[in-house]
Chains A and B, each alone.
Chain A
């Protein structure tokens, strides 16, 4: 480590450093110029030295669950058969843009991460899963072609998966790679033990892999030099909604939500609520949201999760109930339809929520019904999608409590006329 590196204040911008305004991806040549070439792979055995580096760095998965990456690597590496690596670049949340950004602008950082993670667990096959028709696919294929796969020692295949909210779920990816449909399977055993072809399968978000690529070069201490002590490093946040500069920001973990929103050009006085974590996350009233640190522990303390690092600012003129109802319809339509409680419960909840948002008569009954259906749906499906939907609706209940009371008493507020803030993709894609 040079003296200059020690003297610089730790900047959280690492993955997105030096990207500038251009739309072009960083070429392989520039990438090597900055980071150097990966040494050729020497052995097909697992690399426990690298696993230890990752463990010491304290890297947590950036796909939503926040599981310690090092521990995951070790569990898969010590399985009974040669493992498989799946890099999840699907980004199922409609608001999120961070994975797309990484794959379109710094694909080689992600590909490095795939190679290194595969070497760490002793895998020779890696699958990079993205939605079919993604605009960055040509650039991604081009980037893959530029690499020396023989020296990398890992066969990387890019898999185009049908575009559905549930396709990005772990067992759905494993199902797809085995030639089935991209819908979840019933879990035991978990993909970590018995995934693709019955082999231990490591599934990692592409942002996690990009961090891994930097940790392998710069070391765990460098990674820990920014961010929260318990959950170190930087993380990518997609900011959308009523902000002047929506997009993807890289911030130190533990940064308060208010600071991130201000960085994106938001004026908290004009906001009423913030959606944290996307449609798998939940709402917070704006005053409650501003001081909350963007970390797993911080968000757990207010009953939410970090999810895929998404913040959507709801302006005061919009109606949170209407937004939630619209998204609830979307989620109901995205059900794979395999499990009865989800298939029946989510549309029922969405319908009742719409009735409340519209201030229709019978809303009081609708409220009780939503509560009943939520408890019937929760935890009774093969995947966690309906659990997330129910949690999302439940958080709206709490954050917009006064709006619920007003809608049932006096009908819909003016906010239902506000143009939609939360994006809802067209169904049946």
Chain B
């Protein structure tokens, strides 16, 4: 199989290039979106204004989705590997590297789910949206696995390094997120509830050293 692919690669079918290129850029954008989600929300420190990072996260995801659709379309239309349209959404129906393609299908399904729920967030309510959005932690590893398992560029060094580099960044971001959650970053101006000793013990009203009857009082 690898020999055939290598032979095909050397003849350079244009759609095959589209498949590979769109996949690489989509994966890069997906990594960017995941990093943004990890580092600019919750307790992790934000540097840029929140609405900027929020918009970046959203737009990177949408762009990645478009490129994934291009990736799927060029794969199916190329016909070089036995993959049809249904394989895009139903896993384990590919004739080619069934498991690895299935992981990609699952990632795509999750991506659609997360995107649709996010677009309808105001309607579906916070709890449901948040619960589903946790699946992002499954989405990215699935995409990585699909990349490593089916990506024809991983046999070349730079393809592998791209995957490793992305994984290192993501691992670092997750670690930072966990640490920030555990240590607790410096609170924003809105402080924690004030129940407890500092408020319960009212201060004394008389500063020491003042004589009792002051001028001006009866």
Contact = CB atoms under 8 A, between A and B. Distances in A.
Q: Do chains A and B interact in one complex?
A: yes
A343 B205 CA distance: 23
B202 A325 contact: yes
A320 to B, nearest CB: 12
Contacts of A414: 212-213, 217
A416 B210 CA distance: 13
B55 interface: no
Given A326-B202, A358-B206, A343 B190 contact: yes
B187 to A, nearest CB: 11
Given A332-B199, A343-B193, A354-B202, A359 B217 contact: no
A369 to B, nearest CB: 16
B200 A340 contact: no
A412 B210 contact: yes
A428 B196 contact: yes
Contacts of B193: 335-337, 343
Contacts of B215: 410
A329 B199 contact: yes
Contacts of A319: 205
Interface in B164-218: 189-196, 199-200, 202-207, 210, 212-217
B207 to A, nearest CB: 6
A357 interface: yes
Contacts of B195: 333-335, 337, 427-428
A376 B203 CA distance: 24
Interface residues of A, number: 35
Contact of B190 (A334, A340, A350, A359): A340
23 contacts: A322-B205, A330-B202, A332-B194, A332-B199, A335-B194, A335-B195, A337-B194, A340-B190, A343-B190, A344-B189, A344-B191, A347-B194, A354-B205, A358-B203, A358-B206, A359-B207, A409-B216, A410-B216, A412-B206, A412-B207, A427-B199, A428-B196, A428-B200
Contact of A344 (B190, B202, B203, B212): B190
A207 B9 CA distance: 88
A412 B216 contact: no
Nearest to A323: B205
Interface in A276-310: none
B125 to A, nearest CB: 14
A64 interface: no
A358 B203 CA distance: 9
A358 B202 contact: no
Given A427-B199, A428-B196, A417 B206 contact: yes
Contact of B200 (A329, A335, A409): A329
A411 interface: yes
Given A335-B195, A344-B191, 14 more contacts: A319-B205, A329-B202, A332-B194, A332-B199, A333-B196, A344-B190, A350-B199, A357-B205, A358-B206, A406-B217, A414-B217, A416-B206, A427-B200, A428-B195
Nearest to B196: A428
Interface in A371-426: 406, 409-414, 416-417, 424, 426
Given A329-B202, A410-B214, A360 B207 contact: yes
A337 B206 CA distance: 30
A426 B200 contact: yes
Interface of A: 319, 322, 325-326, 329-330, 332-337, 340, 343-344, 347, 350, 354, 357-360, 406, 409-414, 416-417, 424, 426-428
A329 B198 CA distance: 10
A347 B203 CA distance: 12
A319 B206 CA distance: 12
A333 B194 contact: yes
B210 A411 contact: yes
Nearest to A339: B190
Given A412-B210, A414-B213, A333 B191 contact: no
Contacts of A412: 205-207, 210
A329 B196 CA distance: 11
Given A344-B191, A357-B205, A410 B200 contact: no
A413 B217 contact: yes
A416 B216 contact: no
A332 B191 CA distance: 13
Closest A-B pairs by Cβ, 5 of them: A337-B193, A427-B200, A333-B199, A416-B205, A410-B214
Which of B189, B195, B202, B206 has the largest number of chain A CB atoms within 10 A?
Answer: B202
Nearest to A336: B193
B193 to A, nearest CB: 3
A406 B205 contact: no
Nearest to A326: B202
A318 to B, nearest CB: 11
Given A337-B193, A343-B191, A428-B195, A358 B204 contact: yes
A355 to B, nearest CB: 9
B196 A427 contact: yes
Nearest to A327: B202
A332 B214 CA distance: 31
B217 A347 contact: no
A325 B194 contact: no
A307 to B, nearest CB: 23
Contacts of B216: 406, 409-410
Nearest to B200: A427
B205 A325 contact: yes
